Amino acid sequence: MSDDVVCQIVRGDLEAAVVLRTENLIGFLDHRPVFKGHVLVSPIRHVDTLLDLPSELMTPLLTAGQRVAAALVEALGCQGTFVAINNVVSQSVRHLHLHVVPRTKGDGLRGFFWPRTRYADGEMAAYAERIRSALAG
């Protein structure tokens, strides 16, 4: 493991609002979301970029992203999602992560400008619980 933020979350050294954890993947709320409910899905094993992702993790990563996207619609009532991977350029954490961002028509997101917001006290935990419930159901 590396010492990046994702590896720290995986080890339990850094607190995160985890919504999904499997043998190979972890999903948690972005602490500076584009929109509230923005989830990052990452391999547990350290992988720098998409180019480094082993083929045996490709399907599980995309399947987890698909499950999270469906859960966001159910849990948050959004109309859809934006799913993206930054690869080196704009990759603020050098650990592969798939962004799953809740979207609603007219939400103001334009192009690749990603404005960030913050959660109010206690709000992140409430969002995480709603998403975990949708994933479990």
Query: Which residue in 68, 40, 36 sits closest to 133, CA to CA?
Result: 68
Cα(131)–Cα(137) distance, integer angstroms: 10
97 annotated active-site: yes
Set 31, 38, 95, 97: catalytic member: 97
* Number of CB atoms found within 10 A of residue 84's CB: 16
- List the beta bridge partners of residue 83: 100
Token pair, residue 62, equals 């995309």
Which of the residues are catalytic? 97
